[in-house]
Structure 1
Amino acid sequence: MSPRDLIDIGVFGALYVVTVGIFSLLEYLNPVATLVSVAASIVGAGVPFMLFLTRVRHAGMVTVLAVLVSGFMLLIGGPPIGFVVGIAAALIAEVLLWVGRYRSRQLSVLAYAVFSTWFVGLFLPLFYARDEFLSSQSMQEKGADYTEQLDALLSPAVLLTFALSTLVFGLIGGVLGLRLLDKHFRKAGLA
């Protein structure tokens, strides 16, 4: 990778994290807003991700982006399994982009949908370490009422539906990103 590629990864990684972070603020309202914030994050982050794909010219760039994003999430208290899921999702997205020679619009949207499944990794501990997750520092900061409501809301069925919905919201975010690329960013010479 060239220094320019690394700079692009850093810039778009920061844009992606900021976009997700802004929408993630909704989760502090209540537990239902937590799921809404994830959906909004996936859709909203489709814009910087699809713009990033206009800069991707070869394999590895999406995976490095995933290392940055997943590593940041790990640093701010995300579960280690989230890092693993993020890298796995990025590798699958890389394969889709490679098949489309990094220029297929349809495969770019699909690659973003797959990339977005890294959000599932944030909630996986609810399946195998529920008590630890609910008693974690970040949950304690939100209060006992919030934690109890979240526990009641996030049943295994809801979590499974949420996991599948990340693909759907990823497709929506990818299409939105493409439309904004065509409508605004290409005219401005940014894509």
Structure 2
Amino acid sequence: MTVEMVDHRIDVRMSPRDLINIGIFGALYIVTIGIFNLLEFISPVMTLVTSLASIVAAGVPFMLFLTRVRHAGMVTVFAVIVSGFMLLIGSPPIGFVIGVAAALVAEVLLWLGRYRSRQLSVLAYAVFSTWFVGLFLPMFYARDEFLSSPYMEGMGADYIEDLDTLLSPAVLIAFDLSTLVFGVIGGALGLRLLDKHFRKAGLV
């Protein structure tokens, strides 16, 4: 009687192809959310709406990226690129921390599914999408500093006043929880649209 040994080691080695895929799909992801977020200047309500809409739309390039992911570390590097870019354009530093933390949890989910589980891939994207929470998290503990930041000042006084009125604690909590829900929707949509790619990549 032979016993099959299962290798539980975590492989974090990346090939040049892995890095290229991270760069390409990271750029596609940023462009996708950027297109939607261009509308945030219309009103604070549109800021929330477009953020959630971009989570759904960005599920397509992210899920396609996951068909190229076969070991740990790739999603985390992807998150560093995306969160780093958001930090450069004015997002709060806490957003970078949350982005990397969410990616690490997503990595665990993908590893549990041995990078072959379609359901865990969708859940991994939903968890990854919670980095959007960091966009407004300072409104809980540093509201005045957040509203007076250079990025917000560029939005105009009326916009800032309306945003301050809109983002009550209840609205912020609802938005934070919604990122996970819309992440599931975006992941499922990406999975459906890219089903052939997933089957070709061996995800079941």
Shorter-chain TM-score tier: over 0.9
Amino acid of the structure 1 residue aligned with 2:21: D
Q: Which residue of 1 aligns with 2:51?
A: 38
Equivalent of 2:172, from 139, 159, 163? 159
Which of 28, 36, 40 does residue 15 from structure 1 map onto?
A: 28
The reply to whether residue 83 of structure 1 matches residue 61 of structure 2 is no
Q: Letter of the 2:178 partner, please give it.
A: S
Aligned residues: 189
The answer to whether structure 1 residue 70 and structure 2 residue 83 are counterparts is yes
Structure 1 segments of 4 or more deviating over 3 A?
185-189
| Cα separation, 2, equivalents of 1:85 and 1:188 | 32
Instruction: Give the structure 2 partner of residue 137 of structure 1.
Output: 150
Which one has the bigger helix percentage?
A: 1
SS of residue matched to 2:72: coil
Deviation at 1:187? 10
Query: Counterpart of 2:73?
Result: 60
Residue 131 of structure 1 aligns to which amino acid in structure 2?
D
Q: 1:106 aligns with which of 89, 104, 119?
A: 119
- CA contact 2:76–2:100 (8 Å) conserved in 1: yes
> Which position in structure 2 is the counterpart of 1:29?
42
- Normalised by the length of structure 2, the TM-score is 0.89
Query: In structure 2, do the counterparts of structure 1 residues 50 and 77 end up closer, same or farther at CA, with 3 Å as the change threshold?
Result: same
* Structure whose alpha-carbon radius of gyration is higher: 2
2:16 is matched with which residue? Answer: 3
One-letter amino acid of the counterpart of residue 60, structure 1: G
**C-alpha displacement of 1:128:** 0.9
Residue 141 of structure 1: CA displacement?
1.3
Distance in 1 between residues matched to 2:48 and 2:200, nearest whole Å: 34
Task: State the secondary structure of the residue aligned to 1:116.
Answer: helix
Residues in 2 aligned to 1:118 and 1:106: alpha-carbon distance in whole angstroms: 20
Return the alpha-carbon distance in structure 2 between the equivalents of residues 87 and 109 of structure 1: 18
Partner of 2:108: 95
Specify the SS of the correspondent of 1:117.
helix
Q: Deviations over 1:77-109 (max 9, x none)?
A: 111110000000000000000000011000000
Structure 2 residue aligned with 1:168: 181
Structure 2: how far apart are the matches of 1:186 and 1:113? Answer: 17
- Check if 1:47 corresponds to 2:60: yes
CA deviation string 1:9-57 (max 9, x = no partner): 0000000000010011121110100000111110000000000000001
For structure 2, the residue ranges without an aligned partner over 5 or more in a row are 1-13
Q: Secondary structure at the match of 1:59?
A: coil
* Alpha-carbon separation, structure 2, partners of 1:166 and 1:47: 16
Counterpart of 1:119?
A: 132
Q: 2:159 aligns with which of 124, 127, 146?
A: 146
Q: Is 1:182 matched with 2:170?
A: no
**Aligned 8 A contact 2:95 2:132 in 1:** yes
